[in-house]
Amino acid sequence: MEPIAVLGGPYGNHLALRAALLDAVARGAERIYCLGDLGGFGPRPGAMIPLLEEFGVVTVAGNYDRSLAERSPDCGCGYTHPADNAFARIAYAFTDARTSDPDRAWLGRLPSELRFTRGGRRYLLCHGSPRRTNEFLFDSACSDAFLARLARESGADQVLCTHTGLHWEREVPGGARFVNVGAVGRPANDGRPLAWYVWLAADRHEAEFISVPYDAEAMAREMETEGLPPEFAETIRTGWWTTCLEILPAKERARGRW
Amino acid sequence: MTAPAPIPLLAVPTVPLLALDTVWFQVAGTVCNLTCSHCFITCGPTNRRHAMMTRAEVRPYLDEALGLGARDLYFTGGEPFLNRELLAILEDALAIAPTTVLTNATLIGPDLAARLRALERGSRYSLEMRVSLDGLDAAANDALRGEGSFAEALAGLRELARAGFDPIVTVAQTWDEADDAAMRERFHDTLRAEGLPRPRVKVLPLFRVGREVARTRGYAETERLTPEHMLGFDIASLQCSSSRMVTSRGVHVCPILIDAPDALLGRTLRESMRSYPLAHGACHTCWATGATCRN
Ligand SMILES: [Fe+2]
């Protein structure tokens, strides 16, 4: 059973993505997977596809990727808070304007899920949840029974997802394991400016959450130079989320600063 | 030449239950210490059409919800904190799933807020507190919710915030659609000014049933769904495709229609897992606004 790396949400943060990919290669990853949302938030959406191709990353479509491929009017996150909505629109317009037609076609070819067997377990890699690309699976907002049902209905023993930006892992009754790999391009709302991804060591199904330092100050300055909102740069610098907090359930929200 | 055939009168679209994700409990029945003039189920101190539910009554439904793989649980009324067993019921709920309580907050003091906080701390799941408020000041709010209710709700909200909650304030949309963003913004500002550090606001449309009929108007005959409304419409966005409401009378299709006889779908959750015809004006509201009672 080969070691693999799984990451999600590079969000246009090329410095974080490169740092995570190099880290995974240094650990000896047989294969690297990306669970989608290449753009949004960060300054260099156009740098994502070349990086993923350079490292031979196998990629699943996120809601952001789908929206860009289909030229949808928004990112499909569904914010209702006026400020969150405004920030989401800025990020989407910024990314949309920097996505070439060939990139759109590339994103349009991404599958919604990947399935394979690893060490006798049926793996399912998706963006949001096994049933919906834009469904948020937050740790404190999903009952064990619900996750067990999702695993059963999708015929998986091990589900890897992202979309929330926060990493967590749980084994549920019936034996299925859910791993939310978190995000590479946006910190985990814990006051540390790090890139997060998941390492599945040889012969192991338990996730190891790897945090990789990168030059967050350089990233923040690049965002400011590109005219992205100062709130985004602040998140990159401080590790605390400043926007799009409304989707967080009570427990996850309480851990953050804002 | 003959007239074109009329549209069949029974052409009502139906919605299947795609998955039972959310289970609601009318845990205080229709009993409330307030008598809001827009209440879609006409709650008040003397309305016992739906009775308080005991912990023993709730428990088999929790077991059933668990077995069916429900994601989360909601408790409402009436005013849930009038139910003496509410904290025990919430303890049972938080042992198995994320839980939300919908309250008017008028009965929440420091002791109760601290006990809720302890319950939340004891669970791996989130406990969301949702508080109804229908105006930016006492004059606007109390006109709908009753004399003194603004001050009492804010006192309760502050207690919740002091105990570490970030309550979700639910507001009925008594303004024009066009003013929506501005009104949300104003509610955020008002709540922050009232001492809530991280306010969250959820806006719900008015449902023209219950007491709201007398306050403004009921549904017009034209406010009904036909199969044409469902063309290209994502039925997963309707909450009746993924949730059910339990009251003392049994399992109903949704929280809005508990007084509609056809909305009572069975005694058990399993019995209620069948499709439902969208025959009510309220169904039109959900379709038109994309509203769901979830957080
Ligand atoms: Fe996403």
pLDDT, tens only, B211-240: 999 999 999 999 999 999 999 999 999 999
**A253:B166 CB<8 A:** yes
Q: Within the 154-183 window of chain B, which residues sit less than 8 Å (CB to CB) from chain A? A: 164-166, 181
ipTM, two decimals, is 0.95
- Answer whether residue B74 shows pLDDT above 90: yes
A167 beta partners: A181
pLDDT, tens only, A129-180: 999 999 999 999 999 999 999 999 999 999 999 999 999 999 999 999 999 9
- For residue B186, the chain A residue with the least C-alpha distance is A82
Q: Does domain A4-254 have CATH number 3.60.21.10?
A: yes
**What is residue B1's predicted lDDT score, i.e. its pLDDT?**
44
Provide the 8-state DSSP code for B269.
T
Check whether the bond before B78 is cis (ω within 30° of 0).
Answer: yes
Helix (H, G, I), strand (E, B) or coil at A214: coil
Of A140, A245, A252, the CB nearest to B124: A140
Using N-to-C axis directions, what is the helix angle for B138-145 and B149-162, rounded to 10°?
Answer: 110
Going by their DSSP bridges, the two strands B200-204 and B168-172 should be labelled as parallel
Domain boundaries, chain B: 9-289
Of A82, A139, A142, the CB nearest to B71: A142
Tell me the mean pLDDT in the region B54-60.
98
Q: Which fold has domain B9-289?
A: TIM Barrel (3.20.20)
- Chain A positions contacting chain B at CB under 8 Å are 80-82, 85, 139-146, 148-150, 152, 245-246, 249-254, 258
- Answer whether residue B8 shows pLDDT above 70: no
Give B258-265's long-range contacts (Cβ < 8 A, gap of 24+). Answer: B258/B26, B258/B41, B258/B50, B259/B41, B259/B42, B259/B49, B259/B209, B259/B210
